Amino acid sequence: MRALTHVAGALAFLALATLNSGGYRFGASDQAFYIPAVLKRLDPTLFPRDAALLDPQARYFFVDEIVAGTMRATGWSMESCFAAGYGLTLALLYLALWRLGHVLFRSPLAPWAFVAAETLRHRITKTGVNTLESYFHPRVLVFAIGVWAIGAYLRGRPRLAVSAILAAGLLHPTMAAFFVLFLAVAIWTTEPGARRDVGLLAVVGIVGVAWLLLAGPMQGALAPMDAQWRELLAAKDYLFPVRDWSAGAWVANLGTAGLAIGTLAWRARRDAGAPRERGLLAGGVALLVGFLITLPAVSAGSALFVQLQISRVFWVLDLLGTVALVWLLVDRPPQRAAQTPSRWRAAVAAAIVVAAAARGAWVGFVEHGDRPLIAVSLPDDDWTRVIRWAERQPSGAHLLADPGHAWRFGTPLRHAGRDVFLEEVKDSALAIYARGSAARVLERRAALGDFATLDADGARSLAARYRLDYLVIDRDLDLRLAHREGRFRIYALRNQR
């Protein structure tokens, strides 16, 4: 019976999380980086030009190697691997939240309310991160592993917790690093017998980071970004909190941190929490202090501190803030008549579940009702057929398209496994990880100018300068037509070698 309950709970969680995210979509958003990275692992001849843009970020992640290896071993398509990764992420997150709720709460209703509350996808203010995504993202998978690790720590298995999150660092190292800091401080606080291990881990970490920065591949990463680099990143309003955060953003994030830390402190003082909960308090304080003390380095533009995007620690603090709210509203008995607390807790827990279901129905069927709820492959439209045509071209083909094509038409052209002159949203995000990438994006923006006014002579000039092979555009130009898909014309800009 308990197993059936968990299966039903996991399926309900997957459904509500997917609905609240606007459905599942293959190829969306940050997969503009992950899909090309996997394609390059499968075929190293791909992206002979764009590798300079993709590689600086790819060197920090192993998810492309893992997905490519899975595809080779199983024969699965990338669509199948990413769909499986999405399902695995939500199943693990459900299990982790459920176990964590059972450790932290006393009421049998509270874990259900906690799980339901975490399906309410929202953006962590001015951090560039959402609590859930409508596609497979290794960052969310690592977050799920981190939540599981917190539960393992609270159940008295600190070494297992740290080992799990260290292994998860292969998927998304920065997200894992925040959980490592959180757990290391928590374990140091409550587990005197494990302090030697924590100290050894800290020494190894410091030595490893020092080597990376002084003699390894990250030499010079502490140097400040120059004006040109920072100019490109100016549009990323989550990278420089002191410069970009409004008063409301500070109130939202520090308020969430204050709610989480304050509630944990209150529980600890009154011995109302779970064993080892003082560790959660210490870990939460460490994350907040870590964010605050690195603000000067971030504001100065130190490349490493900007690339770490330390403001994302507020995602973990948001989780603890949800714990605080569920405890205050559902788990903590009000000081009233004997029967009132039970009715109150049941009503609030039910309200949270209903709110998650209602919001999910609105987001999934009304707000995003113009697209399929589940899309395990690219949509069957003219733009996808352009991508399929590009896949059939030689691996060295170089394509020019509207730099806003990813958000305008729904899918990045690099999903074809071919070099693309400029994709403004993802290219500028990738430029966070290398000054050369930033210079490349700025140069190409300037060279292209306004794509809406591009004419045949301008296209020929760009083709000669950057060795472009094809132009994808949705209007007529005086160029040789190589192919047409609906409203899209594909013009040949020079002969293929």
Tell me, yes or no, whether 347 and 425 share the same domain. Answer: no
Domain end call among 367, 397, 427: 367
In a domain, 377, yes or no: no
Domain co-membership, 86 together with 182: yes
- Whether the CB-CB separation of 57 and 64 falls below 8 Å is answered with no
Are 446 and 324 part of one and the same domain? no
Does any domain span residue 485? yes
Q: Would you state the torsion angle of the CA atoms of residues 220, 224, 228, 230, taken in this order, to the nearest 10 degrees?
A: 120
Q: Both 316 and 191 in a single domain?
A: yes
pLDDT of res. 497 = 38
- Are 120 and 221 within one domain? yes
Q: Is residue 376 part of a domain?
A: no
Distance, CA of 409 to CA of 384 (rounded, Å): 9
Residue 335's pLDDT is 54
Q: Are β-strands 374-375 and 24-25 bridged in parallel, bridged antiparallel, or unpaired?
A: parallel
Contact 98, 119 (CB under 8 A): no
Indicate whether 399 belongs to any domain. yes
CA distances to 79, 367, 475 from 372, rounded to whole Å, are 16, 12, 28
Q: What is the pTM of this model?
A: 0.93
Q: Are 328 and 423 in a shared domain?
A: no
318 & 391 share domain: no
Count CA within 13 A, CB hemisphere, residue 166: 13
Q: CB of 232 within 8 A of CB of 438?
A: yes
Considering only the C-alpha atoms of the chain, give the largest distance between any 2 of them, rounded to a whole number of Å. Answer: 84
Q: What is the DSSP letter of 136?
A: -
Q: Are residues 144 and 78 in the same domain?
A: yes
Task: Among 320, 339, 367, identify where a domain stops.
Answer: 367
Using N-to-C axis directions, what is the helix angle for 110-117 and 78-104, rounded to 10°? Answer: 140
User: Is 326 in contact with 355 (CB distance < 8 Å)?
Assistant: no
| Cβ atoms of 321 and 260 closer than 8 Å | yes
Residue 393 lies in a domain: yes
The answer on 196 and 50 residing in a single domain is yes
Q: Is residue 465 part of a domain?
A: yes
Q: Which of 367, 400, 422 is the last residue of a domain?
A: 367
Positive or negative torsion for Cα 436, 240, 29, 73: positive
> In 250-389, which ranges are E strands?
374-375
Positive or negative torsion for Cα 377, 427, 61, 126? negative
Both 290 and 315 in one domain: the answer is yes
Per-residue pLDDT tens digits of the chain, which is 497 residues long = 677 877 888 899 999 999 999 999 998 888 888 899 999 999 999 999 998 888 887 777 888 899 999 999 999 999 999 999 999 999 999 999 999 999 999 888 999 999 999 999 999 999 989 999 999 999 999 999 999 999 999 999 999 999 999 999 989 999 999 999 999 999 999 988 888 888 888 888 888 777 777 766 666 777 888 888 888 888 788 888 988 899 999 999 999 999 999 999 998 888 777 788 999 999 999 999 999 999 999 999 888 899 889 999 999 999 999 999 999 999 876 554 444 457 788 899 999 999 999 999 999 999 888 888 999 999 989 999 999 999 999 988 999 999 999 989 989 999 999 999 999 888 888 888 888 888 899 999 999 999 999 999 999 999 999 999 999 999 999 999 999 999 999 999 976 33
Co-location of 287 and 326 in the same domain: yes
Identify the pLDDT of residue 483.
94
Provide, for the chain, the percentages of residues in helix, strand and coil under a 3-state DSSP scheme, each rounded to the nearest 5.
65, 5, 30
On whether both 445 and 321 belong to a single domain, the answer is no
CA distance 340 to 345: 9
pLDDT in tens, 470-488: 999 999 999 999 999 999 9
Residue 247 tokens read as 């008063």
Three-state DSSP state, 18: helix
In a domain, 344, yes or no: yes
Find residue 418's DSSP bridge partners: none
Count of structural domains within the chain: 2
Q: Does residue 11 lie in a domain region? A: yes
Q: What token pair was written down for 321?
A: 């803030």
Structural domain for 456, as ranges = 382-492
- pLDDT, tens only, 142-152: 999 999 999 99
Per-residue model confidence (pLDDT) at position 334? 52
